[in-house]
Amino acid sequence: MKLKLILLLAFIAFASSVSFAQVKQKAAKTEQARQHRIVYDVTAADTALHAGLMRQLNNLKRAWPDAQVEVVVYGKALNLLVTESTTKATAIKDLQTKGVVFAACENTMRARKITKEQLLPNVITVPIAVGELVIKQEEGWSYIKL
């Protein structure tokens, strides 16, 4: 009787370890297949913060090259995307080639009398920055406030 019990327990232990390994393997595959979508909210004119953002975006794209990333810029931060004002034109261009989207707020542009022609190449515009952030979050994007 004890031998049968021991054999039964050994079988259960073996079966559960195999099952656990399969679950762990499936979880790893799901993580790899997951499409990461991140939206950044940038409002500060702080150039040190902008430099940190560029490093963070490069690190992110290095770790998750397929991640969708959008940087929504408005308020005092808009100079980051204005050709004549930015100190990060090269870094932004490099990030754009990696798939990072930079979006300027049209409300801020109107208030500051900045035209689309004054923005860096390939910068998109959105009617309302906060609206864009809300839509992205409603669609399940991860939200990062800088």
**Are 69 and 99 a contacting pair, CB within 8 Å?**
yes
**pTM score, two decimals?**
0.79
- The pairing of strands 37-42 and 142-145 is parallel
20: which 2 tokens? 């656990």
Task: State yes or no: pLDDT of 4 exceeds 90.
Answer: no
Residue 11 has pLDDT above 80, yes or no: no
Cβ within 8 Å of residue 61, ≥6 positions away = 67, 69, 95, 98, 99, 100
Question: What are the pLDDT digits (tens) for 71-101?
Answer: 999 999 999 999 999 999 999 999 999 999 9
Q: Please say whether the beta carbons of 55 and 40 come within 8 A.
A: no
CB atoms within 10 A of CB 79: 17
pLDDT digits (tens, 9 = 90+) for 24-35: 566 555 555 579
Instruction: Tell me the one-letter amino acid at 90.
Output: T
Residues 38, 95 contacting (CB under 8 angstroms) = no
Interatomic CA distance for residues 103 and 122, integer angstroms:
9
Please state, in angstroms and rounded to a whole number, the distance separating the CA atoms of residues 39 and 31.
Answer: 19
